[in-house]
Amino acid sequence: MKRLLRAVPALLLCLALLGGTAAADMGPKQSLTITVTNAPEGAYYLDLLYQEDWTYRNVDLEDYDSALIAGLCAWEDEGWYPALVHGTNLPLFGDLLPGADGTHTFSYYGLPETFRIAVSSAGGAQATEEPFTRTVFHTELVYDYAGNTITRSTSTAGYYLTQFLSTLIPTLAVEGILLWLFGFRSRRSAAVFLAVNLVTQAALHILLGSAILAVGAHALYYLMLLPAEVLIWLAEAIAYGLLLRDQKPGRRVGYALCANLASYAVGFLPLHLIARLLLGRW
């Protein structure tokens, strides 16, 4: 009876955390943030040019200046279409005007992989000559309007380290609480818990990152995340079953299952928020 009562809080926590997985549109979305330096005087619009002619329009053109809109469409005859103004195959979130912090942010499934940056102002319209291809899930760029050039504000290595910490932090927090609730409270259990999570989280990011870089499709993140989590659960179930000592084998495997389900629900949802914090965006 005492064992059952001790297990109830852990079970309730798992169920509460898993409630968030019911949302159909959960999880982090790929994003692009552009900071403009030496911006043109007065109002200006910024959009992404890409070589696909889709008609899912992402902004209401009636809300914008028609002359500036026409400037963004100047490259359509060359096969380059403004993503927000002309349209994408899937929804794209963003705004032609800079946000309150002076940056332009684009996100969601319609975000182009390869694009040019176009700016239209009262002084005319211009676009970068060379296309830029995203290689990470959350991309941050600096666009120098005067020089019409793009530079990265975050290195690829720095980004992947940030992404690793973005999932490791909530995983350790959630699974650490469940570790204590399941009765694994010795120093050995804590050491095993930390070592196993460092290895499995590193393996997760190496697997997903390598696939994205090899294929160049960020949609793979969503397709591979759940199968990768299943593999991690199997690896952790075996590791905890062999290495933990505080409880019986069945409870060790049960902890691995509950902990991974809970950390998947909690860690997957705020990934982009934690990444922004680690990158110093707040």
Render pLDDT for 261-272 as a digit per residue (tens, 0 to 9): 887 776 555 444
CB 61 within 8 A of CB 96: no
Across the beta sheet with 103-107, the strand order is 103-107, 31-37, 138-144, 149-152
Determine the Cα–Cα distance for residues 187 and 255; give it in Å rounded to an integer: 17
Average pLDDT over residues 175-188: 93
Specify the pTM.
Answer: 0.60
Average pLDDT over residues 255-278: 67
Average pLDDT over residues 117-144: 92
Q: Place 212 in a pLDDT band, splitting at 50, 70 and 90.
A: low
For the chain, give the mean pLDDT: 80
In 10 A of CB 88, how many CB atoms? 23
Select from 31, 94, 97, 85 the least CA-distant residue to 53. 85
Beta bridge partners of 193: none
Q: What pLDDT does residue 184 have?
A: 93
| Residue at 246: amino acid letter | D
50's enclosing H/E stretch is strand 44-50
Q: What is the pLDDT of residues 87-127, one digit of tens each?
A: 998 889 999 999 988 899 999 888 999 999 999 999 999 99
- The rounded Cα 14 to chain-centroid distance in angstroms is 24
**Higher confidence at residue 210 or residue 95?**
95
